[in-house]
Amino acid sequence: MNTIEAIEARRAIKHYDSDHRMSPEEERRLIELAMLSPTAFNIQNWRFVVVRDMEIRKKIRAAAWDQAQVTDASLLVVLCGNLSAWKQNPANYWRNAPQAVQDFLVPAIEGYYSGKPGVQRDEVMRSCGMAGQTLMLAAKAMGYDTCPMDGFDYEEVEKIIRLPDDHVISFMIAIGRKTQDSWPRPGQLDYNEVVIENGY
Amino acid sequence: MNTIEAIEARRAIKHYDSDHRMSPEEERRLIELAMLSPTAFNIQNWRFVVVRDMEIRKKIRAAAWDQAQVTDASLLVVLCGNLSAWKQNPANYWRNAPQAVQDFLVPAIEGYYSGKPGVQRDEVMRSCGMAGQTLMLAAKAMGYDTCPMDGFDYEEVEKIIRLPDDHVISFMIAIGRKTQDSWPRPGQLDYNEVVIENGY
């Protein structure tokens, strides 16, 4: 599917064929495409918790206002971020670059994130946003639909997936075969309401 | 361009043809596509500051470690977020939905964000991440390349674009015609390093 078509056709879908499961190959392909999304300094701070186990999905559904797509979709991905990615062997993220690039960029990573928990958290949310949108568009192109979700009890889901202390959840995405279309776009802002020329 | 191809071909490009400018139609098309990205509760909290004015671009370049793409690219978009979007006439975001949906969702917006500045900020970073990736993939499909940037003095750029107090900058994207390819991906993590099955 053409990129522009995928962008235009993607909508948040709530109703899925609960009998359908993706093949392991499709699942891996989707995540590998999401992994091509950019991250600042190439720190690849996203972590994809792929939830297939139905008992765990039921627990997450209970923590997500009982939204049916959590269990009915073919797959549920919890997009998490590792707040410590920047300091965990950062040279590894640039290991194949020319030495001069490594010498410049690797120390810059420490300078950018060290002692700045707000910056680390913003980076996780941004990275997961980009990777999540890649995943949703790739899924659309592969014939699937998706539902991005942040309507759930974050602390509860963190416990269910046993998230490490230095990780946070950004959002979740349900992926599957839709059984019902979404409603029409419910109230979009005009171009001039969200686009500012040169400055406020 | 096919969606999967666009995802695979997109790379952060630093070198641009400084003589090239996008047409107003292309520019608008790009932003309109980014505006199709999802936001939680449809609050559309992104704001796109489109910087064409070269004097302003020079100031931003000075605040961005003198990175050439800030002035050389055809267009610079500063992706900002309105932290107050959730409370600014939220009924407007659902004005075309069935009454029952409006009655359920509009009050939920207040409950989700009110008194939670961290949640409001996370939402901006996530929304801008998704919209930014849409913009980068759409640009790729339209024959352009992009460079996502968070290597700049945020406070300084906020001043330059006269950002309102209840807005924040998420990141910037330079868009244009590349004159040089990027280096090969410099050190990608393996699938098993970022994918977790069912839980940690």
Please, which pLDDT band fits residue B101 given cuts at 50, 70 and 90? Answer: very high
Residue A61 pairs in a beta bridge with none
Q: How far apart are CA A98 and CA A93, in angstroms?
A: 12
Give the phi and the psi of residue A82 in degrees, each rounded to 5: -95, 105
Answer yes or no: is A199 within a domain.
no
ipTM score? 0.98
CB within 8 Å: A6 and B3: yes
Q: How far apart are CA A24 and CA A34, in angstroms?
A: 16
Please, which pLDDT band fits residue B136 given cuts at 50, 70 and 90? Answer: very high
pLDDT tens-digit map of B7-62: 999 999 999 999 999 999 999 999 999 999 999 999 999 999 999 999 999 999 99
Please, which pLDDT band fits residue A63 given cuts at 50, 70 and 90? Answer: very high
Answer yes or no: is A155 within a domain.
yes
CB within 8 Å: B7 and A127: no
pLDDT at residue B73 in the model: 98
Please, which pLDDT band fits residue A19 given cuts at 50, 70 and 90? Answer: very high
Please, which pLDDT band fits residue A105 given cuts at 50, 70 and 90? Answer: very high
Please, which pLDDT band fits residue A151 given cuts at 50, 70 and 90? Answer: very high
pLDDT at residue A44 in the model: 98
CB distance A120 to A83 below 8 Å: yes
Answer yes or no: is B97 within a domain.
yes
Answer yes or no: is B122 within a domain.
yes
Work out whether the CA dihedral B193, B195, B197, B199 comes out positive or negative.
positive
Picking from B116, B95, B124, B121, the residue whose alpha carbon sits closest to that of residue A194 is B124
Picking from B146, B50, B163, the residue whose alpha carbon sits closest to that of residue A200 is B163
The Cβ-side half-sphere exposure at B36, using a 13 Å CA radius, reads 21
- Chain A positions touching B32 (Cβ under 8 A) are 191
pLDDT at residue A109 in the model: 98
pLDDT at residue A37 in the model: 98
| CATH number of the domain that residue A160 is part of | 3.40.109.10
Answer yes or no: is B144 within a domain.
yes
Answer yes or no: is A88 within a domain.
yes
* Cα torsion through A189, A147, A23, A72, rounded to 10: -150
Mutate to test the interface with B, among A71, A124, A133 (most CBs of B within 10 A): A133
Whole-structure pTM value: 0.98
Q: Which amino acid is at B30?
A: L
**How far, CA to CA in Å, does B65 sit from each of A54, A114, A116, B60, B181?**
49, 18, 19, 9, 21
- Which run of H or of E encompasses B49? strand B46-51
Q: Residue A100 sits in which domain range?
A: 3-194
- Chain B positions touching A191 (Cβ under 8 A) are 28, 31-32, 35
- Chain B positions touching A171 (Cβ under 8 A) are 126
Please, which pLDDT band fits residue B186 given cuts at 50, 70 and 90? Answer: very high
Answer yes or no: is B63 within a domain.
yes
Residue B200 tokens, joined: 């940690």
Residue B75 Cα, gap to closest chain A Cα (Å): 11
pLDDT at residue B117 in the model: 98
Number of domains forming the structure of chain B: 1
Residue A103 tokens, joined: 């010498």
Residue A63 pairs in a beta bridge with none
Please, which pLDDT band fits residue A144 given cuts at 50, 70 and 90? Answer: very high
Give the phi and the psi of residue A80 in degrees, each rounded to 5: -115, 165
pLDDT at residue B123 in the model: 98
CB distance B146 to B173 below 8 Å: yes
- Chain A positions touching B126 (Cβ under 8 A) are 125-126, 128-129, 132, 150, 170-171
Please, which pLDDT band fits residue A7 given cuts at 50, 70 and 90? Answer: very high
Mean pLDDT on B157-181: 98
Mean pLDDT on B121-129: 98
Q: What is the mean pLDDT of chain A?
A: 97
pLDDT at residue A36 in the model: 98
Q: How far apart are CA B47 and CA B36, in angstroms?
A: 13
Work out whether the CA dihedral B124, B127, B131, B137 comes out positive or negative.
positive
Answer yes or no: is B199 within a domain.
no
Mutate to test the interface with A, among B112, B122, B161 (most CBs of A within 10 A): B122
Residue B196 pairs in a beta bridge with A49
**What strands lie across the sheet with B145-149, from one edge to the other?**
A195-197, B46-51, B75-82, B167-176, B145-149
